Amino acid sequence: MNLHRARVLVLVGMVIASGVGGGVAAWAADGGNDQSLTRGFFAFPGGDGWVTVNLGTEFTDIQRLTLPPGKYIATATAALASNILTSVGCRLTIGTLEGDFVQGVLGRDSNDFLALPLTFGFTIQTPQDLAVACVAGSAGAVVSQPSPITAIPVDRLTIQEGFAP
């Protein structure tokens, strides 16, 4: 490559970098309040507001996050503990919509811990609470730990059936 082409490439790279950097700086100076940017929602499970929930044999919410209308991909981790051998299962719920049920077994050792990964795609027309709802095989045997929820709005959402062998 000759020196002239190298100078042009360096100049083009600097223009692109300055344009991207300026956009990031403008967004940061705006406090991230530009409505055209993607916004995420996260329920912080720690701090003074977090409360341990004792699970029973009926579904119980262990974490909630209020969302505005829109299309979302949500993920959560149901963090649970027990020292009694029992089954436990959780799902994400919003209104009458329910995500897939994920389950495991706790209490094989004293103070056994389990983290169940949850993912859910959905569309809502009104503000609603997204919740991590769990149920235990034995009442009072399982307690919740800080369980985060993240929801990312998406422009388009197509929900398809998963892999079936």
Domain ranges in the chain are 1-35, 41-153
Enter the CATH code of domain 41-153. 2.60.120.1340
Which position has the higher pLDDT, 50 or 7? 50
pLDDT at residue number 20: 38
> pLDDT (tens digit, 9 = 90+) per residue, 8-37?
333 333 333 334 344 334 434 445 555 566
Return mean pLDDT, the chain.
Answer: 79
Residues with Cβ within 8 Å of residue 66, at least 6 apart in sequence: 127, 128, 129, 130
**pLDDT higher than 80, residue 66:** yes
| Residue 46 pLDDT level (bands cut at 50, 70, 90) | low
Count how many Cα atoms sit within 13 Å of the Cα of residue 45 in the half-sphere of its side chain: 19
